[in-house]
Amino acid sequence: MPTAVSRLPTAESLAAYFPLTFPIPSPTTHPDLLSAKDIQREEDLLRNPTSFRAWWAAINATKEAYAALQKTERPLDLAEEVTAILGPLASPLARSHLQRLTYLYEAALVQFPGSFKLWKSYLNTRMTFVLGKLIVKKKAGGKKKFPEMKDALEEESEDLEQWEGGLDPVIGWEEWKSLVATFERALMWLPKLPRLWLMYLSIFFHPRCPPILARTHVRHTFDRALRTLPPSLHSRIWTRYLLWAERMGGPTTVFVYRRYLAIDPSLTERRETALVAGEESVTGRVHQPEGKSPYQLLEDWIDVVEKFAEEVGMDVEDTIESNKGIAAAEAEAAENAKEVPEPASTDGKLIRFAGPAVPVTSDGIVSRPYDEDEDPTSPRKLNIEEIVRKDGLAVYKDQAGRLWTGLATYWIKRGEFDRAKETFENGLKSVLTIRDFTQIFDAYAEFGESLTGALMSSLENEEDETEEDAAETERELDARIAELQDLTDRRPFLVNDVLIRRNPNDVQEWEKRVALWGEDDEKVAETYTQAIETINPRRATANLYRLYVNFAKFYEEGGTTGQAEPDLDSARKILEKATKVNFKLVEDLAEVWCEWAEMEMRHDNYDEAIRVMQRATAIPKHTKVNYHDHTLSAQTRLFKSLKLWSFYVDLEESIGTVETTKQVYDRILELRIANAQIIINYAAFLEENKYFEESFKIYERGVELFTFPISFEIWNIYLSKFVKRYGGSKLERARDLFEQALEKCPPKSCKPLFLMYAQLEEDYGLAKRAMNILDRATKVVQDQDKFEMFTIYIAKATANYGLPATRPIYERALEVLPDRQTADMCLRFAALERKLGEIDRARAIYAHASQFCDPRVRPDFWTEWNSFEIETGSEDTFREMLRIKRSVQAQFNTEASYLAAETTAARQGTRKAEEEAVAQDAMAAAEKQAGVLKGPAFVAAKKTKLPTAEGEAEVTPSATAPVANAEEIHIDEEDL
């Protein structure tokens, strides 16, 4: 062990190796630089000193020779500590070749001092011998051409150069200094090349960079690079500069970031994080949260203010004084802004048009005015209230809850409880959202509860205090409890204030505020008045008229409790004012007039009610006004409000005369605003007063005004009234009316009119005409009504002419009706033929209907045909029926039809019935039916051979086999 220690060289012995490159080696100072092999190269270079190719070839040959010798070099007989100290220059071979390469490069640079290629190669070589081997990183993908500074910093931090080894900064200080001097000489010749600057700056990120170079020299170098390079290349320097500042930490980070943020404030978040991170920022491990908004940065600032309230902010007196000064400055600036600007310059000089003075440098560049609040070196404390108001509340109006609570917490931390309470109150009176209100209210209540709890605890722990101090504490406690209770009681009003501030035109919130005052008539009247003055009618929510009407009812009913004397004059004034409001909807204005008339009627002022409606319905000279033109005022379009006229006419019917009512109805018709209900009401009114012919004229005017389907209701009532009154006395006139009604009536509406017309002819006219009308109806009505129309037609024909006369009707029905209704009509037709004894005709009808009836969907049809054949058919007809059934089933045997049949069968529950019908043998059903008919309908065969397959014996019924029916006819569906 002592032997190993004795082999370790001392620092003085290691330092004797250096300097290697200063002064610059040459054959005269270092005879071993050149060997016999290098004589020819030197002679060639002397003969051709201006040949760059010759110099470049000589340098590359020397490098290749060094690389070859490195491979054959024996391991160094040095301790690991020595190798780590000397780094790349641990071997004599490396030291000698450094001198040789330095000699060649320096000699070449004498000839080509402006060659970037030569300087870059030289500097890379020198860096390799001093900094160690450069670690080459694998990169995936390309970079953005012009990334944002935040992204550029992240990319640059990942791309920073890393080296293996390196020369010790103490032992090899002379070589480090020589390397820096070489960079300085290169930049003297090529100052505008950013690559040389970046190479130079990269050596300062080396972990073994000498401390004497690590701070002041680096900062001066970055500053020289920014002054030398054009502005378009500054971003490449700033990325390195900021990363280096973050590594240094402390004031260096503050000063460097302050300089950069003056030109690009986008890195405010990174600067804030670097400063708040503290010790982590010194080591370069700064955590960067992604995408913080300015509001989030403001929240972080408030957190710092809350934490260091005493250190950063002013007290109450200084804050109040500062606020007064700021208010005075803003008022002066506003006055200056109102001044008339100076005329434009005529001699080309810049003139300030308006606003405060802006400092300008001697070269004409506008500089930013100095703000002491933004200077981190300023010892003056901040006006926290002004900063929160200007940079927070004025900008983030819908996110003010956190700002108000933060400001109040700041005052609480400073012990200024009254100022904190005032801050909470101002916040509750200014926020615009329920979320912010809830945040402030909860913090306010928690502050009150904590303050009350602290006072109660102090009372419990008071032992040495006098009675006067205890009494004072109790009084303060009572006051705080009362304030907390008052805050709780005011919460509904405060919430309502927030909603009204958010939307002052919200009628419903104003009505809620009225309800909150309960029986306080003075506050209710004050709230109504404030609401009417505040709300903009064109922007108000629905039912604005209710606010005026309820206000009028408030005076009409003697207040909310009804104990005061009713004040109709005040109610009339309010309604009079409401009639002049430009509502969004004409219906709202009409409601005001109607409510006014109803109020007069409630107090038995009938004449006044009529006068009110006469004023409301006054017709102007120019009646050509578009009722739906919202650019016109509601008062201009009011005379066309059907709601207003309907109320007026109801009022006239109730308390007016027949003549005045007729006049109102006529004016409605003249304005052409009547609807079908108005026509019907007018005619009904005339009929009640025995003006029958006039009521019929009104009906006729109505059918002229309206088309189908609206006029259908009028025709329906008109014709029924006419027939009821005149019956058959004016039959021709009634026929003309029916024909006129049916002339333009659409198919879907004409069925009731045809039925009424046919009933009229049946009661008062000719049966033949009634049948013709029904026949017309079956041709005109829509398809959905044709089945019912044919049914009625057949019933009438049966009653008038007998069953045989219905055959042509049935035949035409089968031609006209849709497929789904044809089968039902066929069943009825077949039943008719069976009654008439026409069995063959009935069978033909069944056969015709079968093509529309899927056996899986319509088993009722096939059951009825089956019963018919059992009753009246023979074996051949029964076999034909089965053949047709099989053919129809094959016709409908598609996937869609099958699925439809399955669905329908499941709904109707017919599957089980169908299976039972198949399981039941035909003869059993025949016997059962025969028992009902008192005897069989036909004679069965004595013996029937069952059909067999080819090659099998014929099978006859066995005597011992169980037979359900001895006379059963074995007919298989396959034997067709």
Asked if 433 and 502 touch (Cβ cutoff 8 Å), the reply is: yes
pLDDT band at 26 (very low <50, low <70, confident <90, very high): confident
Comparing 791 with 463, which gets the higher pLDDT? Answer: 791
For the residues 681-694, what does the mean pLDDT come to? 89
**Residues 6+ away with beta carbon under 8 Å from 191:** 228
Length of the chain: 976
Rounded to 5°, the CA angle 41-46-52 comes to 80
The pLDDT > 90 percentage for the chain reads 22
Instruction: Tell me which residue has tokens 């004059």.
Output: 569
Question: For 372-381, 427-436, 879-888, 943-952, which range has the lowest pLDDT when averaged over its residues?
Answer: 943-952
pLDDT in tens, 305-340: 888 888 888 888 888 888 888 888 888 877 776 655
pLDDT in tens, 255-284: 888 888 888 887 777 777 776 665 444 333
Residue 891 clears pLDDT 90, i.e. is over it: no
For the residues 634-654, what does the mean pLDDT come to? 90
For the residues 929-936, what does the mean pLDDT come to? 40
For the residues 341-367, what does the mean pLDDT come to? 48
For the residues 848-856, what does the mean pLDDT come to? 82
733 vs 720: CA distance, rounded Å: 13
Residue 690 clears pLDDT 80, i.e. is over it: yes
With 0-12 CB in 10 A as exposed, 13-18 as middle and 19+ as buried, what is 905? middle
Residue 969 clears pLDDT 60, i.e. is over it: no
pLDDT in tens, 510-521: 999 999 998 888
Q: Under DSSP, is residue 360 helix (H, G, I), strand (E, B) or coil? A: strand
pLDDT in tens, 202-246: 999 888 888 888 889 999 999 999 999 998 889 889 988 988 888
Rounded to 5°, the CA angle 368-369-371 comes to 120
Q: In this predicted structure, what is the pLDDT of residue 411?
A: 92
The letter for the amino acid at 13 is S
Distance (Å) of CA 847 to CA 523, 575, 851, 866, 884: 88, 79, 7, 12, 8
pLDDT band at 576 (very low <50, low <70, confident <90, very high): very high
Query: Model's pTM, two decimal places?
Result: 0.61
Residue 122 clears pLDDT 70, i.e. is over it: yes
**Residues 6+ away with beta carbon under 8 Å from 401:** 427, 431, 433, 435, 436, 437, 438, 439, 440
Closest CA to 327 of 317, 335, 338, 339: 335
When the pLDDT of each residue in the chain is averaged and rounded to a whole number, the result is 80
Comparing 229 with 801, which gets the higher pLDDT? Answer: 229
pLDDT band at 903 (very low <50, low <70, confident <90, very high): low
Comparing 8 with 950, which gets the higher pLDDT? Answer: 8
Q: In this predicted structure, what is the pLDDT of residue 899?
A: 54
pLDDT in tens, 397-407: 888 999 999 99
Residue 104 clears pLDDT 50, i.e. is over it: yes
Q: In this predicted structure, what is the pLDDT of residue 905?
A: 57
Q: For 507, what's the count of Cα atoms within 13 Å in the CB-facing half-sphere?
A: 18
pLDDT band at 748 (very low <50, low <70, confident <90, very high): confident
For the residues 838-862, what does the mean pLDDT come to? 83
For the residues 769-783, what does the mean pLDDT come to? 86
Query: What are the φ and ψ backbone dihedral angles of 93, each rounded to 5 degrees?
Result: -60, -45
DSSP 592-625: HHHHHHHHHHHTT-HHHHHHHHHHHT---S----
Q: Which residues pair with 178 in a beta bridge?
A: none
Q: In this predicted structure, what is the pLDDT of residue 374?
A: 60
Asked if 757 and 723 touch (Cβ cutoff 8 Å), the reply is: no
Range from 135-139, 205-209, 527-531 that averages highest in pLDDT = 527-531
Q: In this predicted structure, what is the pLDDT of residue 491?
A: 93
H-type alpha helices, 339-415? 384-388, 401-413
For the residues 595-613, what does the mean pLDDT come to? 92
345 vs 351: CA distance, rounded Å: 6
Comparing 19 with 275, which gets the higher pLDDT? Answer: 19
Range from 7-21, 125-139, 459-473 that averages highest in pLDDT = 125-139
DSSP assignment, residue 565?
P
Asked if 455 and 471 touch (Cβ cutoff 8 Å), the reply is: no
Q: In this predicted structure, what is the pLDDT of residue 10?
A: 65
Distance (Å) of CA 544 to CA 509, 534, 642: 11, 12, 20
Rounded to 5°, the CA angle 199-201-203 comes to 80
**What beta strand segments (E) does 112-227 contain?**
133-134, 163-164
For the residues 91-112, what does the mean pLDDT come to? 89
Residue 285 clears pLDDT 70, i.e. is over it: no
Q: Which residues pair with 133 in a beta bridge?
A: 164
Q: Which residues pair with 313 in a beta bridge?
A: 382
Residue 178 clears pLDDT 60, i.e. is over it: yes
DSSP 413-467: HTT-HHHHHHHHHHHHTT--SHHHHHHHHHHHHHHHHHHHHHHHHHHHH-SSS-H
